[in-house]
């Protein structure tokens, strides 16, 4: 009963909304075995104790009878445009892509609209946090990990600088610009690729010189806002999230990361091939795109996209899922489930939408599993959250109950009642 003194300290707040006990639930901690007929105590928004039916709590603690429900950690989507884009085809509603090639100072989190209709919709399927990722140019800006609850973006922010998004240059003959779709010759595309790569190296070189200059400089040093934003990257405090799909690009990205001495996370990995061994060796995690996609090539096996997570898991590489958009973020658990149908162990699928993203984004000290001391970011369901039929009944973020109503449930009720 180590937590008793802690209790006394918070006794005054015992009636607060973020202190309660759940009774009669099955707890799925993700980090350990499931606990049936459990009691889960939350104090001040944090998980205080997981016990059996006999778990004693102060009389003032509010009891939530959730008999028969399952408790899982809330899920985390590792790549979205949440709050940054409302209707994807309407330019005015999108704040995802900025102009310019190098914009490390941009922060996605401040462009997340807390009133976006997408937030409650995504939340309703059990997702408690999402990476808002800027896109555009080469260094697109800082991706922010946002909890899907809060009156302002500030309240939503878990880490504004969870990652620096680098759109690693590729040899691409097709491009889409303001005047529409265009094609370049291969040699042109190759020159373009090399030029962009050179610019990228030079930019990091500039950042390192800035780092040195700043360390050596005294009063009167003129800060540069863009290069200033590079310092946490150079200090390995912020990982660089690099989009790299195929073997060649992945190897290039890993070599580049080594050369620049930065920490990297790969995103949109799809055809890693022999690069998987390298990722394992260097301990580099990956963010997988949706499994519910067509095969990359016409002559690929029909289940090519479904089995990518299976391969990545077998190679021992840590992975999480991202939905790379908004519309299907609520289907995040089903992306993982599709991989289960084709061979991914169920517990790995569950971790890839809870614990692993928390680890990858450096917040596993406070979320990603149900463990003592972690934030009570939890969902109560009537079954396995990876199953399409399962309902998320209740959600708590930092121990506060979150409304699961959305534009969709409101319209449902309104029109179901139409005479």
Partner 1 sequence: MKFLLFLTAAALTAAPPIVIQNATVLTVTKGAFKGSVVVQDGKIKEVGEKVMIPPGAQIIDASGQYVMPGIIDAHSHIAADSINEGAVSVSSMVGIEDVLDPEDIGIYRALAGGVTTVNVLHGSANAIGGKCQVIKTRWGKDREGILFEGAKPGIKFALGENPKRQGNVSASRTGSGAPPVLRYPATRMGVEDVIRQAFNDAKTYQAEWKGYNERKARGETVIPPKRDLKLDALVEVLEGKRLVHAHCYRADEILMLLRVADEFGVKIKTLQHVLEGYKVAKEIKEHGAGASTFSDWWAYKVEAFDAIPYNAAIMVKKGVLVSLNSDSGELMRRLNTEAGKTMKYGGLTETEALSLITINPAKQLDLDHRIGSIEPGKDADLVIYDKHPLSSFAKVQRVLIDGAVYFERDRDLTERQQREQRKKQLLEKEKQSQPQQKKNAGPGRRPA
**214: exposed, middle or buried (Cβ count in 10 Å: 0-12, 13-18, 19+):** middle
Comparing CA positions, the residue from 10, 69, 74 lying closest to residue 376 is 74
Measured from the CB atom, the residue of 141 and 290 that comes closer to partner 1 is 290
Least distance CB 118 / partner 1 (angstroms): 7
With a CB cutoff of 8 Å and minimum separation 6, the contacts of 292 are 305, 328, 331, 334, 335, 338
Q: β-strands 157-166, 174-177: how paired?
A: unpaired
Q: Which stretch binds partner 1 (CB under 8 A): 80-88, 102-110, 155-163, 201-209?
A: 80-88
Measured from the CB atom, the residue of 151 and 302 that comes closer to partner 1 is 302
Going residue by residue from 278 to 317, which x/- string records binding to partner 1, judged by CB under 8 A?
Answer: --------------xxxx--xx-xxx--------------
Measured from the CB atom, the residue of 144 and 326 that comes closer to partner 1 is 326
Q: Which stretch binds partner 1 (CB under 8 A): 131-139, 253-261, 310-318, 387-395?
A: 387-395
Residue 35, CB-side half-sphere exposure with 13 Å CA sphere: 21
Tokens of residue 364, six digits = 């596993």
Among 98, 117, 348, 401, binds partner 1 (CB under 8 A): 117
Tokens of residue 327, six digits = 């519309």
Measured from the CB atom, the residue of 48 and 305 that comes closer to partner 1 is 305
Among 34, 155, 365, 387, binds partner 1 (CB under 8 A): 387
Q: Distance between CA 380 and CA 124 in Å, rounded?
A: 11
3-state secondary structure of 331: helix
Comparing CA positions, the residue from 167, 170, 117 lying closest to residue 329 is 117
Among 9, 87, 217, 296, binds partner 1 (CB under 8 A): 87
Q: Which stretch binds partner 1 (CB under 8 A): 37-45, 63-71, 197-205, 408-416?
A: 408-416
Q: Distance between CA 406 and CA 123 in Å, rounded?
A: 9
Measured from the CB atom, the residue of 225 and 388 that comes closer to partner 1 is 388
Q: Distance between CA 125 and CA 332 in Å, rounded?
A: 9
Query: Judged by CB under 8 A, does residue 330 bind partner 1?
Result: yes
Among 327, 348, 362, 404, binds partner 1 (CB under 8 A): 327
Subset of 181-200 contacting partner 1 (CB under 8 A): 181
Query: Judged by CB under 8 A, does residue 342 bind partner 1?
Result: yes
Cα 252–chain centre separation? 24
- Alpha-carbon separation of residue 279 from 12, 86, 163, 252 (angstroms): 50, 35, 18, 12
Q: Which stretch binds partner 1 (CB under 8 A): 15-23, 24-32, 81-89, 236-244?
A: 81-89
Helices (H), 296-345: 304-314, 332-341
Strand partners, 107: 142
Comparing CA positions, the residue from 341, 335, 340 lying closest to residue 357 is 335
Q: Which helix (H) or strand (E) holds 254?
A: helix 247-260
Among 212, 341, 373, 393, binds partner 1 (CB under 8 A): 341
With CB under 8 A, what is the number of residues at the site for partner 1? 46
Q: Which stretch binds partner 1 (CB under 8 A): 4-12, 138-146, 351-359, 386-394?
A: 386-394
Measured from the CB atom, the residue of 9 and 294 that comes closer to partner 1 is 294
Q: Which helix (H) or strand (E) holds 187?
A: helix 186-216
Least distance CB 94 / partner 1 (angstroms): 12
Query: Judged by CB under 8 A, does residue 273 bind partner 1?
Result: no
Least distance CB 388 / partner 1 (angstroms): 4
Least distance CB 271 / partner 1 (angstroms): 14
Report the alpha-carbon angle 368-374-376, nearest 5: 85
Query: Judged by CB under 8 A, does residue 174 bind partner 1?
Result: no
Among 89, 152, 187, 274, binds partner 1 (CB under 8 A): 89
Subset of 118-147 contacting partner 1 (CB under 8 A): 118, 121
Least distance CB 72 / partner 1 (angstroms): 15
Residue with tokens 């996209």: 305
Which DSSP letter does residue 257 get?
A: H
Report the alpha-carbon angle 201-202-203, nearest 5: 90
Among 57, 338, 352, 375, binds partner 1 (CB under 8 A): 338
Query: Judged by CB under 8 A, does residue 354 bind partner 1?
Result: no
Q: Are 69 and 381 in contact (CB under 8 A)?
A: yes
Residues that bind partner 1 (CB under 8 A): 86-90, 117-118, 121, 179-181, 292-295, 298-299, 301-303, 326-328, 330-331, 333-334, 337-338, 340-342, 386-391, 407-409, 411-412, 415-416, 418
């Amino acid at each position: 009963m180590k937590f008793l003194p802690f209790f006394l300290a918070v006794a005054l707040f015992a009636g607060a909304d973020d202190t309660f006990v759940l009774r009669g639930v099955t707890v799925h901690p993700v980090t350990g075995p499931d606990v049936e007929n459990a009691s889960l105590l939350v104090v001040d928004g944090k998980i205080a104790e997981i016990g059996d039916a006999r778990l004693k709590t102060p009389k003032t603690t509010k009891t939530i009878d959730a008999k028969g429900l399952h408790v899982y950690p809330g899920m985390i989507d590792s790549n979205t445009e949440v709050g940054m884009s409302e209707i994807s085809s309407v330019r005015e509603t999108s704040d995802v892509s900025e102009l310019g090639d190098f914009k490390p100072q941009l922060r996605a989190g401040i462009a997340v609209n807390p009133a976006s209709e997408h937030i409650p919709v995504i939340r309703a399927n059990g997702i408690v946090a999402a990476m808002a990722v800027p896109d555009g140019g080469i260094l697109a800006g800082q991706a922010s990990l946002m909890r899907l609850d809060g009156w302002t973006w500030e309240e939503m922010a878990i880490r504004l600088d969870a990652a620096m998004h680098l759109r690693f240059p590729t040899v691409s003959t097709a491009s889409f610009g303001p005047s529409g779709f265009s094609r370049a010759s291969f040699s042109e595309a190759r020159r373009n690729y090399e030029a962009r790569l050179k610019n990228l190296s030079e930019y990091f070189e500039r950042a390192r010189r800035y780092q040195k200059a700043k360390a050596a400089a005294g009063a009167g040093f003129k800060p540069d806002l863009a290069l200033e934003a590079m310092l946490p990257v150079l200090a390995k405090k912020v990982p660089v999230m690099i989009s790299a799909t195929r073997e060649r690009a992945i190897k290039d990205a890993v070599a580049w990361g080594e050369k620049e001495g930065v920490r990297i996370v790969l995103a949109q990995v799809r055809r890693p091939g022999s690069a998987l061994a390298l990722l394992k060796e260097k301990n580099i995690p990956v963010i997988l795109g949706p499994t519910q996609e067509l095969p990359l090539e016409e002559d690929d096996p029909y289940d090519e996209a479904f089995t990518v997570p299976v391969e990545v898991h077998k190679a021992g590489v840590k992975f999480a899922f991202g939905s790379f958009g908004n519309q299907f973020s609520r289907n995040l658990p089903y992306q993982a489930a599709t991989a289960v149908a084709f061979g991914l162990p169920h517990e790995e699928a569950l971790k890839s939408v809870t614990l692993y993203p928390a680890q990858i984004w450096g917040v596993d000290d406070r979320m990603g599993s149900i463990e003592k001391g972690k934030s009570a970011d939890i969902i109560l369901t009537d079954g396995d959250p990876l199953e399409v039929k399962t309902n998320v009944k209740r959600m708590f973020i930092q121990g506060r109950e979150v409304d699961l109503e959305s534009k969709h449930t409101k319209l449902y009720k309104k029109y179901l009642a139409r005479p």
